[in-house]
Structure 1
Amino acid sequence: MELTVTESKNSFNAKRSLEVGDKSYDYFALDAVEGMEKLPYSLKVLGENLLRTEDGKNVTEEHIKALANWDPKAEPDTEIQFTPARVLMQDFTGVPCVVDLATMREAVSSLGGNPDQVNPLNPAEMVIDHSVIVEAFGRSDAIERNVDIEYERNEERYQFLRWGSENFSNFRVVPPGTGIVHQVNIEYLARVVFDNDGLAYPDTCIGTDSHTTMENGLGILGWGVGGIEAEAAMLGQPVSMLIPRVVGFKLTGDIPVGVTATDVVLTITDMLREHGVVGKFVEFYGNGVKSVPLANRATIGNMSPEFGSTAAIFPIDEETINYLKLTGRDQEQIDRVEAYAKAQGLWLEQDAEEAEYSEYLELDLSTVKPSIAGPTRPQDRILLSEAKETFRKQLGDFTEDPICEDDSAAAENMGAEGENQPDYDKSSVEDANSAWPGNGESAAQGAKGRHSNPVEVESGAGGKFTVDHGMVGIAAITSCTNTSNPSVMIGAGLLARKANEYGLRAKPWVKTTMAPGSQVVDNYYHRADLWKDLEAVGFYLSGFGCTTCIGNSGPLPAEVSEAINDNDLAATAVLSGNRNFEGRISPDVKMNYLASPLLVIAYSLAGTMDFDFETQPLGTDSEGNDIFLKDIWPSTEEIEETISEAINRDMYVKDYADVFKGDDAWQNLDVPTGKTFEWDENSTYVRKAPYFEGMPTEPEPVSDIAGARVLAKLGDSVTTDHISPASSIKPGTPAANYLDENGVERKDYNSFGSRRGNHEVMVRGTFANIRLRNQLVDVAGGYTLDFTQEDAPQSFIYDAAQNYKKENTPLVVLAGKEYGTGSSRDWAAKGTKLLGVRAVIAESFERIHRSNLIGMGVAPLQFPEGESHESLGLDGHETFAIDGLTALNDGEIPKTVHVTATKDNGETVEFDAVVRIDTPGEADYYRHGGILQYVLRQMVKS
């Protein structure tokens, strides 16, 4: 299953032979083009890509020369066509991709083409990892319960994916329960250097999840794209891009004792977000890189979307080779990677001449300090030593409770802070959502001058405890970012071992979950005999999947949830993930913090964010001595010794031997047959996509926009989590009402992510995040003003959009800075399109979402520099006209379009908005009404 390669024109006579052992490979040599060998590593990979795919049309001799003569200081203005070697998907984004491909087969037939044309031309691989929800926890059978529920809820989706894997060529599916997509990618799927029938070239990979950049740690150039862009790449379309600026990030020094890879990545995230790297490549260089373990490189690369760069890449070196050996790659592949990288100048040599970069940053790793990030953005780093103080300062933004002037009563109510919890057997709790007995413990810290609202809770098992603002409702070891890193995962296990020796336990109100990124973690925990300690403090195996980081944290115990919501408590979550946006983790939790797996356990023991690990004890030993975090923190030597004893190559070879086979539940699925899918009109999971209905063979001319109304007026840093349906489905909302009407019981609503294959559910959840603040209304959630009705009443956004559609009224969205940050969710663009939005006018866009909007035929427009909807006095009640888009019909991309906003009293606000259609390729997609329509028409013409 390899890439379909079109013969290169080879204008530079770059094709050569490379002998590796007994095998000979063809390859396109970079040094055949003057200047190419001096480029940064990431641009060399792009250079090889252009040499190999030169066809005289999409990729020309001029494109190759432009890259070789790259000016590091210039602003990007040269478009190139990048052809990734493969596409990676997870199931949330993968299901709609397969839905679209299945729909395209029918659409090709209706336009007179051959449906068999619709097959991935590039290798496409999907890992099902986003569907498991942590329903059961804190018990020995938690993983079995969660897997059973997962299959029960998702059987229809899984049948569809099995059908896709059996009927589309070049498409493979890794079944549920295997691991998290990005960890499976670096541990098994990643090639690093391809062998395609004797042609060697770098492994490049785009993925339908923004954290595809984890592979950058292996020297693989790739990044996250929306599902629609990935589908086009699967069907042979190159990715249109501008040659980017490259930020050189020099690493020096060594990580100090007590500091984790998570602390390093949160520090780098803070630095790069402050520096500004949106749309740029980040490349790590210098002799210090060699001392950064591969797992740490992958952790850093994983967080590229959090600091905003397109990619964050490390070069290939001996550490890469060692990792390939450890993870069970065959010797032929390992030899090929090393020989190819050295032949192409892609190997990091000691004291190598440094490439010239566009911008420079440097971090001395010895200066990194323990950190967390939150409460709503991953770049908002907080020193652990200042976490309690910062939490108290931030709390006022999340609660209406008055500040306590005298908390002596609360302090007395706390119940012997720090004393050991009595032993209890959580596995004996019958209900997976039952709380654990608390026996008088309290999350109220009783600090003078802070908000406080202590609430007593009686658990189902009969225990009592008191919760308050700052209570840790969820402590989750989850997400690809950290669960792929043995140093922090082993460290967490060793911390649990020492905590267990002192009799420390997670507080009874904390939902504790453990979701490793691959089965290898489970195996090395067993080999190191760490499971008994993790379970003793509360962390039982919950599943192999993304879980909490994607919002699949599952419900809190009923009595805890009730206490939080009835008393409007500002509960917190601590997770070892990469995303902590508002409303993402749990509807019961307002404040979310990213932390290392070790600190996740530490906070579960503390039970509250209102805690200072330096001055407050976690408990006492048998002699009554205080036990602090420093007393249970494992040393670097302990961690490294355990890793060397517990982890080996055979572990990876065994676990990935039958990675595509799946368990009995997967094998026994009743799979539909036939080259075209038989759609079930009653399905609430998988529905035929609507994008090609009535599509003519030739695109209709682009038109200007007139009489448009504002659907939403939004502020800064609106994420794709705010826009795209995610997490749970709230009763009483349009999506829930649709499910009710189709006979779905509330307990079976599942999540928006699991229903991404049904556009009827998804469009009803677009702009419906419970934390979204549409400035047209005075409440949070998916509401707007409906100007089709008298007096413009408050309405659900979906309902208003349907009324606008009946009146043929186009819609616009107004937004602030960094619109569309976060995950590469194509549904943030798909839902926007299906609601009837023609244009989004923002102060600035994040890269992936801007691209996705164009891919759905929605115009991304930018306010003039220094202006905003606030500065222009736009309140969202205006009617908008946008003139100048018709220039696209003449093959031009207008730099600006003229916007006229007319107020109710006839006054107008006029300005020229910048058109953020950046390349001719993007203009083609927009002219066709979207990237899939463009591909489909090209397919029929061919």
Structure 2
Amino acid sequence: MASTDSFGAKGTLGVGGSEYEIFRLSAVEGSEKLPYSLKVLLENLLRTEDGANVTADHIRALANWDPTAEPDTEIQFTPARVIMQDFTGVPCVVDLATMREAVTEMGGDPSKVNPLAPAELVIDHSVIIDIFGRPDAFERNVEFEYERNRERYQFLRWGQGAFDEFKVVPPGTGIVHQVNIEHLARTVMARNGQAYPDTLVGTDSHTTMVNGLGVLGWGVGGIEAEAAMLGQPVSMLIPKVLGFKLTGEIPPGATATDVVLTITEMLRKQGVVGKFVEFYGEGVGAVPLANRATIGNMSPEFGSTAAIFPIDDETVRYLKLTGRSAEQVALVEAYAKEQGLWHDPQAEPQYSETLELDLSTVVPSIAGPKRPQDRIELSQAKEAFRSSLADYASTPDQTDPDDAASSGSTVDEAGEESFPASDPASPAHDGNGDAGKPHAPISAAAGSGGRVSKPTKVTMGGAEFEIDHGAVVIASITSCTNTSNPSVMLGAALLAKNAVDKGLAVKPWVKTSMAPGSQVVTDYYEKAGLWPYLEKLGYHLVGYGCTTCIGNSGPLPEEVSAAVNEADLAVVSVLSGNRNFEGRINPDVKMNYLASPPLVIAYALAGTMDFDFESQPLGKDTDGTDVFLADIWPSAEDVQATIDGAITEEMFAKDYADVFRGDERWRSLPTPEGRTFEWDQESTYVRKPPYFEGMASEPAPVEDISGARVLALLGDSVTTDHISPAGAIKPGTPAAQYLDEHGVEKKDYNSFGSRRGNHEVMIRGTFANIRLRNQLLDDVSGGYTRDFTKDGAPQAFIYDAAQNYAAAGTPLVVLGGKEYGSGSSRDWAAKGTALLGVKAVIVESFERIHRSNLIGMGVIPLQFPQGESASSLGLDGTETFDIAGITELNDGTTPRTVKVTATKADGGKVEFDAVVRIDTPGEADYYRNGGILQYVLRGMLAS
């Protein structure tokens, strides 16, 4: 739709031989003072101004932004494109496929149903490290991946062929965010004769990695992503913006990972939730683009919506290196300079608040054992581990003396247990003649005081060794956060070479893995001749995907797992990822640490977190001399020389030339053809949802709600993670019963995440979180309610009760407290609510995005009168609810309040006026149509 252009901003820009329509920011007074990120938003509003959802007042509010004010102005942001990963992307494609059928049934042309904004999906979340430490690991893991996910992949492959503007990067190619910065990101879009900033939303929180390229975007739930794909805006508040000034340069020995862990700690302390972070100052130009991307990637860890770097010479250099066309690179530079989006190192834009970091003060660091913001200086790592260990392992005075004696632990002079680490010089993985010798325990208590210890013998592959609390059982180079960064990846490989040259080896209990985020990494390792050294230490390629970082670390070797569980050891993973929450990485591993790729290998050589790299040797060289980490750490000059000699523009051009084509496995998948999808009635992964059943070309008038029952009465701070199905599928629950009925064995239940394309599984897991407390029941948590269709209203699963209410024609409401719907697992929180038959949610206050998502699914969000709550009104959830006044929406207006009457069993009534939280004209249109998908579908039919 053409902009109404109230400010006369529309003009043209000539670049090379092409002319582009642009909307000049200079047409709006005050724009020049705005931070970079808000200039991008301002251009977005200028270009999409329609007089209704985006008005001249919105544009003026943004241009006159008050850095100190609390955000209260809602705007409609229209992203230029959408990016998805396979877990969260599948439901979006399922909904598009279902829309096609609905259009066909209503006499329309199914080929008209397409994403209206470019949408790209990268399959990266499904590969698991089942096989490691051997040359065929990659091939075997990909085979297992296809076996487990065949149905989903066939469906996505159909979508790739059926939809315009929808592209799939097949399995075994890379990680979504790394593929985005190396290939998919445009920085400036050229589309339909217009040039405008590349912006996006993604169905993964680390979408912010692309902020390093000057591209504004962040992670959203599936409903917002679907809306954006279908050309609808995303509702947001004009945010506060924190300016982060960078000065100085990273010192020798420190890495980009150390920088990002330092920034994460600083910003967590500052408090940036809901804010944009923007980097500025003279130091920005000295930050390589790969480092910028690493910093942007961690935005969810420090809590900001985005963490963006402006466009400058370094951006242009990276675009050239990664094989973008000369025309595209020229457009980026010309457009950024024309619009005031080119970085001026001397500029001091207005910011809500500022922070500063002198990069020369950064020191080697790790973070853990359970949060990314818990940074530890490497020199303090052993001490910090010991102080954390008390939370994960029984302390000496809690240990049975007989148990301690039988475990073989020793007692030092202070009466505390000392730690038997294994001999650092012992070989592993290399199959040489010493591998079968027992690994003798040594005391590692000196210097930091004693600590709880439980040495446990393991026999594996003919070797016998001991592991204890703190043993590093996973050391994984994983995640786009760091594998996109050649300085740390080549640093790790050079460290591996130096270690092998000195005769060092990884400990036999360490599960090693190398899972880069793109094939370019493999290429430059090959060209630099460094693969043999990595493989000598067990760092064989295991897959191109998220792997360990999202918990797909695969099982530990059985012998190690058994020892860990029998002795209840607090063992450790070290990974180059972005998240290390408890229980995330591997079920056997209690403590998880984030580290740079070189330090991942260093800890694999040490074999334990109870280690001081400054004072303890990693082993001995062939002459019997102690080898310390400092002896094998590559110099910055060596790393840079290797980068210069090993990485070429041709690598990116070659690896991305046919990125959507896939390998032979992908191309040979038997795939349905045709403009509509042939649903497999036996599939338990991908099913046609009922959103459009019985839908007419014109929406029926909205109706008031009468005779509704309460499905759940909930307290404060109920999050979308409480509502949305997630994690493992528990036997005996409605979701498991459904899978049982469809012949799925318990071992093949898989997870809710993998079955997001099957609404039948997902609605059975909605409101089923084990920590959810439904106050209709006393002292019961989990997915239960009272079923008022039965005498005595007995306890029932929420899903089963909802089915009985649906059969009786009874609508449902949910009652809640403050901050209802904060959290991240958003799309199924709203979809599941709607599919269970909930027509209204009445709470004290909403999280903004979940409120919007409920409307997008045809559920009306209502708030109790100011200062009132379910308990203050005397509501206990046993009432029958009537809601009158909704029908005013049929007149094209949105009522400010509606009348709610709750009738108790004895006939007593509670009446109140609930505030209607339909906040924009667009949201009112969605609600009148029964939801956003129906609204868009009718628009397509009309056009």
Which category of TM-score, normalised to the shorter sequence, fits these structures? 0.7 to 0.9
Question: Equivalences for 1:424-439 in 2 at 5 Å?
Answer: 424-425=429-430, 439=438
Which of 158, 169, 174 is the equivalent residue of 2:153? 158
Please say if 1:84 is aligned against 2:79. Answer: yes
Residue aligning to 2:758: 758
CA change 1:9–1:707 in 2 (3 A) is closer
Residue aligning to 2:57: 62
CA radius of gyration, larger in? 2
CA distance, structure 1, for counterparts of residue 557 and residue 729 of structure 2: 18
Residue aligning to 1:659: 659
SS at match of 1:222: strand
CA-atom RMSD in angstroms: 4.4
Q: CA deviation at 1:86?
A: 1.4
CA distance, structure 2, for counterparts of residue 273 and residue 416 of structure 1: 35
Q: CA deviation at 1:366?
A: 2.4
**Contact 1:263 1:368 (8 Å CA) reproduced:** yes
Question: Equivalences for 1:662-741 in 2 at 5 Å?
Answer: 662-694=662-694, 697-698=699-700, 700-701=702-703, 703=705, 708=710, 710=712, 720=721, 724-725=724-725, 735-741=735-741
SS at match of 2:409: helix
Q: CA deviation at 1:526?
A: 1.1
Q: CA deviation at 1:656?
A: 0.9
Please say if 1:325 is aligned against 2:320. Answer: yes
CA change 1:507–1:348 in 2 (3 A) is same
CA displacement, residues 640-692 of structure 1 (integer Å, 9 cap, x when unaligned): 12111111111111111111111111111222122211111110121112333
CA distance, structure 2, for counterparts of residue 762 and residue 543 of structure 1: 29
Q: CA deviation at 1:341?
A: 0.8
Residue aligning to 1:932: 933
CA distance, structure 1, for counterparts of residue 111 and residue 620 of structure 2: 69
Residue aligning to 1:222: 217
Residue aligning to 2:26: 31
Please say if 1:146 is aligned against 2:141. Answer: yes
Residue aligning to 2:415: none
Residue aligning to 1:541: 541
Identity of matched residues, %:
66
The amino acid that maps onto 1:481 is T
CA change 1:752–1:110 in 2 (3 A) is same
Please say if 1:419 is aligned against 2:405. Answer: no
TM-score by length of 1: 0.86
Please say if 1:364 is aligned against 2:365. Answer: no
**Contact 1:79 1:243 (8 Å CA) reproduced:** yes
CA distance, structure 1, for counterparts of residue 137 and residue 360 of structure 2: 40
CA change 1:773–1:547 in 2 (3 A) is farther
Query: Which deviates the most, 666-675 or 679-688?
Result: 666-675
CA distance, structure 1, for counterparts of residue 683 and residue 883 of structure 2: 42
Question: Equivalences for 1:230-249 in 2 at 5 Å?
Answer: 230-249=225-244
CA distance, structure 1, for counterparts of residue 504 and residue 218 of structure 2: 42
CA distance, structure 1, for counterparts of residue 388 and residue 879 of structure 2: 38
Residue aligning to 2:291: 296
SS at match of 1:223: strand
**Contact 1:72 1:358 (8 Å CA) reproduced:** yes
Query: Which deviates the most, 180-189 or 576-585?
Result: 576-585
Q: CA deviation at 1:192?
A: 1.1
CA distance, structure 2, for counterparts of residue 365 and residue 532 of structure 1: 34
Question: Equivalences for 1:373-388 in 2 at 5 Å?
Answer: 373-388=367-382
SS at match of 1:116: helix
CA change 1:421–1:105 in 2 (3 A) is same
CA distance, structure 2, for counterparts of residue 152 and residue 850 of structure 1: 39
CA displacement, residues 884-937 of structure 1 (integer Å, 9 cap, x when unaligned): 8967955558699999999x9999999999987665544654665543244334
Residue aligning to 2:165: 170
Which of 260, 273, 276 is the equivalent residue of 2:268? 273
CA distance, structure 2, for counterparts of residue 384 and residue 860 of structure 1: 49
**Contact 1:784 1:800 (8 Å CA) reproduced:** no
Which of 231, 251, 256 is the equivalent residue of 2:246? 251
The amino acid that maps onto 2:13 is L
Query: Which deviates the most, 628-637 or 170-179?
Result: 628-637
CA change 1:239–1:247 in 2 (3 A) is same
SS at match of 1:512: strand
Please say if 1:494 is aligned against 2:494. Answer: yes
Query: Which deviates the most, 200-209 or 19-28?
Result: 19-28
SS at match of 1:145: helix
CA change 1:313–1:667 in 2 (3 A) is same
Residue aligning to 2:458: 457
CA displacement, residues 151-203 of structure 1 (integer Å, 9 cap, x when unaligned): 22222222211211111111111111111111111111111112225422211
CA change 1:636–1:401 in 2 (3 A) is same
**Contact 1:316 1:346 (8 Å CA) reproduced:** yes
Residue aligning to 2:409: 410
**Contact 2:419 2:453 (8 Å CA) reproduced:** no
CA change 1:777–1:452 in 2 (3 A) is farther
Unpaired segments ≥5 residues, structure 2: 412-417
Q: CA deviation at 1:516?
A: 0.4
Residue aligning to 1:432: none
CA distance, structure 1, for counterparts of residue 253 and residue 302 of structure 2: 24
**Contact 1:782 1:796 (8 Å CA) reproduced:** no
SS at match of 2:573: strand
**Contact 1:93 1:825 (8 Å CA) reproduced:** no
Residue aligning to 2:627: 627
Q: CA deviation at 1:537?
A: 1.7
Q: CA deviation at 1:375?
A: 3.3
Query: Which deviates the most, 364-373 or 33-42?
Result: 364-373
CA displacement, residues 125-145 of structure 1 (integer Å, 9 cap, x when unaligned): 111111211111111100000
The amino acid that maps onto 1:379 is Q
Query: Which deviates the most, 197-206 or 644-653?
Result: 197-206
Query: Which deviates the most, 498-507 or 253-262?
Result: 498-507
Residue aligning to 1:3: none
Unpaired segments ≥5 residues, structure 1: 1-5, 429-435
Q: CA deviation at 1:30?
A: 1.4
**Contact 2:366 2:593 (8 Å CA) reproduced:** yes
**Contact 1:179 1:519 (8 Å CA) reproduced:** yes
Q: How many residue pairs end up in the alignment?
A: 921
SS at match of 2:3: coil
TM-score by length of 2: 0.86
CA displacement, residues 791-826 of structure 1 (integer Å, 9 cap, x when unaligned): 99998776777678778695758689896545x653
Q: CA deviation at 1:766?
A: 5.0
**Contact 1:138 1:427 (8 Å CA) reproduced:** no
CA distance, structure 1, for counterparts of residue 751 and residue 176 of structure 2: 19
CA change 1:928–1:668 in 2 (3 A) is same
SS at match of 1:351: coil
Q: CA deviation at 1:411?
A: 4.7
Query: Which deviates the most, 575-584 or 201-210?
Result: 575-584
Which of 133, 144, 162 is the equivalent residue of 2:128? 133
SS at match of 1:282: strand
CA distance, structure 2, for counterparts of residue 212 and residue 700 of structure 1: 37
